[in-house]
């Protein structure tokens, strides 16, 4: 996952930069230890340069169906009522708290947000909860940490889940609730709870991976209840919102080697065209190749391995991910997987763990690669579209890595994420997991080349998948990335299908048998076989990359820059 900062225009995110008066600058320069102000304070006491870790923070909000994007669905809440101790209210449009819900009995409001897209190692600076009060109160209600796991569709006054009781009914036990983290009161309208130091520490623990059981709003003595719009409320903007401002503890995560050049291909075949693409990769000097599925279309693993070895060499780092045409000859002592594993054993620099080509992570000279079989159900059912096993793996892999550059690599597509005739075969969950983490999505399957604009709402076609920015500059950061298909490895070249894609608004470039668009401009000519090349860590900027798609005739079908925010 990128230790990156989102731009101000990203929905749910904003960049916060410290502002310093001349007086405060002078005071700062006077009192900071010398080691802290090297290259920071000029002769007149002005701050000339402060590291990003000191001056830039990122703010992200989580709100059901709205933030960080309309696809966010990680907010849950429920009222628990002493007067109806075995009834679940998880589907209600309000979440309520009262110390006198009739005859002195209580009710409390449980809330929780699943966090995503915050880089590992980030330091939480502040956190707040914004609630829409639908029925106000003159009383003050406390907000507490919840220590026991609960389920929105099962929780009641008596039970946290259908099989687990609260230690004390109403989540009142010492192992049910913890520290006081804030309070809320007021009449109808929007109310923001700024979490105290214990609340910030609680959110930090969630970011660090500690169990996130949310919070509870409660009082056993108040007599004037308070109601809030819940995550099921019809108006998305009024649903509970958690806002977190964080910074990177180290300024940046690890970057790649300077100038690291990686080739991306898919859909190779076993002919002269495939050889020409491998020759191109060799001549460009790519340090490694990521092959997003469909190898030789012949179920001949030994011949495929020999093709790679004869051109790129037996010790060349070649990262191969399974495609649907590889599944039949994948396993066994002489299957594709055996050759992939043997190459990895010969080339320690590939540095992978897991089931190679199916469910693995690699860190190649600072480039973090997540290999997934998502969508390739031809191998097994746990590789099917939206397969929970694969989606969770992708999310966890990205959440536990702090590299600046990450790539999600799989074979198949969603219909909107290619320009040919492919259908929805992956599901949006994997795409969204990678977008949330700011990771590039690299695919094959469709036999053409295509690249999106920067996307901030992938899976939501009504917003153009949140497309934004320039054609020749894509940005990566929490909840923004881009997607490409590089499927011109040698087996065939397919059409751009106008009937399906002329109303698409999210493409920067594509290169097909009947149409070529480069950075939004219609070009003369049609596609030939080739590869996408990305050179990471360029121009002295570890967060910058340059990329180009080059065909075997030397034509540059696409050229663009990638910037991590």
Residues 345 and 471 in one domain: yes
Residue 3 lies in a domain: no
Residue 8 lies in a domain: no
Among 266, 256, 246, 170, smallest CA distance to 493 is for 266
To the nearest 10 degrees (0 to 180), the angle between helices 301-312 and 336-346 is: 30
* Residues 90, 76 contacting (CB under 8 angstroms): yes
CA 512 – CA 514 distance, rounded (Å): 6
Same domain, 334 and 202: no
According to DSSP, the residues that pair with 290 across neighbouring strands are 264, 319
Q: Which of 227, 248, 269 is the last residue of a domain?
A: 248
Please give the helix or strand (H or E) that residue 29 lies within, else none: helix 22-31
pLDDT mean across residues, the chain: 89
Mean pLDDT, range 319-344, rounded to an integer: 97
Output the domain CATH number for residue 426: 3.60.21.10
Say if residue 22's pLDDT is above 60. no
Choose between 253 and 561: higher pLDDT.
561
- At 47 the pLDDT is 35
535, 375 in Cβ contact below 8 A? no
How would you write 410-438 as a 3-class SS string? Answer: CCCCCHHHCCCCCCCCCCHHHHHHHHHCC
- Please determine, for residue 188, whether its predicted confidence score (pLDDT) is greater than 70: yes
Least confident stretch, 71-75, 240-244, 421-425: 71-75
Other Cβ atoms within 10 Å of 282 Cβ, number = 15
Domain that holds residue 557: 260-564
81 and 45 within one domain: no
**How many residues appear in the chain?**
565
Question: Both 78 and 212 in a single domain?
Answer: yes
Q: What is the mean pLDDT of residues 357-363?
A: 97
210 and 326 both lie in a single domain: no
Q: What is the pLDDT of residue 248?
A: 65
How much is the pLDDT for 58? 86
Last residue of a domain, one of 221, 248, 275: 248
Domain identity same for 30 and 83: no
> Could you tell me if residue 253 is inside a domain?
no
34 located within any domain? yes
Predicted pLDDT at 52: 39
Query: Among 241-255, 291-305, 342-356, 416-430, whose mean pLDDT is lowest?
Result: 241-255
Answer yes or no: is pLDDT of 497 > 90.
yes
Strands (E), 21-121: 56-63, 75-81, 94-97, 107-113
Pairing between β-strand 483-486 and β-strand 440-443 as defined by DSSP bridges: parallel
Question: What's the pLDDT score for residue 29?
Answer: 40
Model pLDDT, residue 121: 74
Same domain, 233 and 335: no
**Whether 362 contacts 401, CB under 8 Å:** no
Average pLDDT over residues 162-187: 95
Query: Where does a domain end: 248, 281, 313?
Result: 248
As a whole number, mean pLDDT of residues 217-232 equals: 95
Residue 45 to residue 22: CA distance in whole angstroms: 8
The radius of gyration of the chain from alpha carbons, rounded to an integer in Å, stands at: 26
Helical residues (DSSP H) of 118-215, grouped into ranges: 197-207
Pair (244, 272) in one structural domain: no
Mean pLDDT of 449-469: 96
Q: Is residue 233 a part of any domain in this protein?
A: yes
Q: Are residues 46 and 113 in the same domain?
A: no
DSSP bridge partners of 76: 112
**Of 457, 446, 524, whose CA–CA distance to 486 is shortest?**
446
Clarify whether residues 190 and 269 are in a common domain: no
> Which whole-number Å values give the CA distances from 294 to 238, 316, 321, 497, in the listed order?
47, 19, 8, 22
Q: What is the separation of C-alpha 557 from the centre of its chain, rounded to a whole number of angstroms?
A: 28
How much is the pTM? 0.62
Q: Do 45 and 64 share a domain, yes or no?
A: no
For residue 445, pLDDT beyond 50: yes
- pLDDT band at residue 54, thresholds of 50, 70 and 90? very low
Is residue 42 predicted with pLDDT exceeding 90? no
pLDDT band at 111 (very low <50, low <70, confident <90, very high): very high
pLDDT for 254 equals: 78
Task: Mark out the alpha helices in 327-485 (DSSP H runs).
Answer: 336-346, 388-399, 428-436
Look at residue 506 in the predicted model and tell me its pLDDT. 98
- 5 has a pLDDT exceeding 90: no
Residues 233 and 306 placed together within one structural domain of the fold: no
Q: Say how many domains are in the chain.
A: 3
What CA–CA distance (Å, rounded) separates 113 from 88?
19
| In-domain check, residue 4 | no
Residue 392 domain-assigned?
A: yes
Q: Which residues contact 500 (CB under 8 A, 6 or more apart)?
A: 415, 421
Please report which confidence band the pLDDT of residue 39 belongs to, taking 50, 70 and 90 as the band edges: very low
Instruction: Look at residue 216 and tell me if it is in a domain.
Output: yes
- Report pLDDT digits (tens) over 200-223: 999 999 988 888 999 999 999 999
């Amino acid at each position: 996952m990128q230790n990156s900062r989102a731009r101000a225009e990203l929905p749910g995110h904003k960049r916060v930069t410290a502002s310093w008066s001349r007086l405060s600058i002078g005071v700062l320069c006077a009192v900071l230890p010398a080691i802290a102000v090297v290259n920071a304070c000029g002769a007149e006491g002005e701050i000339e340069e402060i590291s990003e870790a000191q001056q830039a923070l990122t703010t992200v909000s989580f709100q059901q169906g709205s933030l960080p994007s309309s696809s966010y669905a990680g907010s849950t809440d429920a009222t628990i009522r002493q007067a109806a101790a075995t009834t679940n209210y998880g589907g209600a449009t309000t979440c309520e708290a009262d110390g006198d819900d009739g005859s002195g009995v209580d009710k409390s409001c449980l809330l929780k947000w699943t966090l995503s897209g915050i880089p590992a190692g980030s330091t939480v600076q502040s956190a707040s909860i914004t609630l829409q009060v639908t029925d106000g109160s003159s009383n003050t209600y406390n907000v507490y940490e919840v220590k026991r796991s609960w389920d929105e569709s099962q929780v009641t006054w008596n039970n946290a889940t259908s099989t687990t009781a609260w230690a004390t009914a109403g989540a009142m036990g010492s192992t049910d609730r913890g520290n006081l983290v804030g309070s809320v009161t007021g009449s109808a309208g929007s109310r923001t709870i700024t979490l105290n130091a214990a609340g910030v520490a609680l959110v930090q623990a969630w970011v660090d991976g500690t169990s996130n059981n949310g919070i509870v709003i409660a009082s056993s003595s108040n007599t004037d209840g308070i109601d809030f719009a819940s995550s099921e409320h019809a108006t998305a903007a009024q649903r509970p919102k958690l806002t977190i401002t964080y910074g990177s503890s180290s300024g940046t995560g690890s970057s790649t080697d300077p100038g690291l050049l990686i080739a991306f291909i898919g859909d190779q075949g076993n002919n002269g065209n495939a050889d020409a693409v491998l020759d191109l990769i060799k001549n460009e000097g790519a340090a490694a190749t990521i092959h997003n599925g469909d190898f030789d279309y012949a179920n001949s693993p030994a011949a495929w391995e020999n093709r790679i070895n004869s051109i790129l060499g037996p010790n060349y780092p070649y990262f191969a991910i399974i495609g649907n045409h590889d599944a039949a000859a994948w396993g066994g002592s002489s299957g594709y997987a055996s050759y992939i594993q043997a190459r990895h054993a010969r080339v320690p620099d590939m540095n992978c763990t897991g089931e190679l080509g199916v469910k693995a992570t690699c860190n190649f000279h600072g480039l973090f690669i997540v290999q997934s079989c998502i969508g390739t159900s031809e191998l097994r059912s746990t590789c099917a579209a939206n397969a929970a096993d694969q989606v969770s793996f992708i999310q966890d892999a990205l959440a536990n890595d702090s590299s600046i550059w990450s790539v999600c690599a799989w074979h198949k597509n969603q219909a909107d994420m290619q320009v040919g005739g492919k259908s929805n075969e992956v599901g949006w969950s994997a795409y969204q997991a990678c977008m949330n983490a700011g990771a590039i999505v690299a695919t094959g399957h469709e036999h053409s080349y295509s690249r999106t604009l920067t996307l901030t709402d992938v899976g939501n076609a009504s917003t153009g998948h949140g497309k934004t920015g320039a054609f020749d500059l894509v940005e990566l950061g929490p909840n923004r990335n881009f997607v490409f298909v590089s499927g011109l490895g040698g087996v065939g070249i397919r059409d751009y299908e106008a009937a399906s894609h002329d109303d698409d608004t999210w493409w920067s470039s594509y290169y097909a048998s009947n149409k070529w668009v480069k950075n939004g401009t219609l070009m003369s000519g049609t596609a030939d076989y080739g590869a996408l090349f990305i050179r990471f860590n360029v121009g002295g900027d570890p967060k910058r990359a340059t990329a180009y798609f080059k065909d075997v005739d030397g034509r540059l079908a696409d050229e663009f820059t990638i910037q991590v925010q």
